[in-house]
Amino acid sequence: MLSKKMLDEMNIQIQEELYSAYLYLSMVAHFEAANLPGFAHWMRLQAEEEREHAMKFFDQIIDRGGKVTLLAIDKPAADFGTPLSVFEQTLAHEQHVTARIHKLYDIAVADKDYASQVFLNWFVSEQVEEEKNASGILETLKLIGEKSNAIYQLDHQLGKRE
């Protein structure tokens, strides 16, 4: 059984993960409008991952006898600027999600909720990967600057993400 605090925070985490999916879908639209289909493809897959993360929390709450409470999802921005700006925002967002996962883990430790600790271990590792991926693309964008040929080459490379 989940503590009330853990249940409340997991329900908030569902909202956070769904907002992440919504944010990345908005970035898909931004990149499509900028004729950068590879960047859009990368973000589309990212959005789907975030939806899957939300469902993991959804199922965990149910499996542990809790009640899922869906919270309102804020409207994301529609314009994000340059690809560099988008990935600065993406990295900052992933760092925010990492902090949320750490908060959940701290609650699990305080509650001596070993099942939640095991469940959250996957997310701790996943956030390392999420930040690494966003940071790697961000650093590449910093290196290439506004060179259009390099942006289009990176766009082509990101379009190959599976």
41, 44, 143 from 93: Cα distances, Å? 19, 16, 21
Q: CA 71 to CA 68: how far, in whole Å?
A: 10
Own/partner contacts of 69-72, CB < 8 Å, gap of 24 or more, are 69/11, 70/11, 70/14, 70/15, 71/11, 71/12, 71/14, 71/15, 72/15
The amino acid occupying position 130 is E
pLDDT in tens, 3-17: 999 999 999 999 999
pLDDT at 69 over 90: yes
pLDDT in tens, 76-114: 999 999 999 999 999 999 999 999 999 999 999 999 999
pLDDT in tens, 118-130: 999 999 999 999 9
44 touches 81 (CB < 8 A): no
Q: CA 1 to CA 67: how far, in whole Å?
A: 11
- What is the domain class of 4-67+80-158 according to CATH? mainly alpha
Note the pLDDT of residue 148: 82
- Two tokens, residue 94: 């992933």
Mean pLDDT of the chain: 97
pTM attached to this predicted model? 0.96
SS3 state at 3: coil
Predicted confidence band of residue 146 (pLDDT cuts 50, 70, 90): confident
Predicted confidence band of residue 147 (pLDDT cuts 50, 70, 90): confident
Note the pLDDT of residue 99: 98
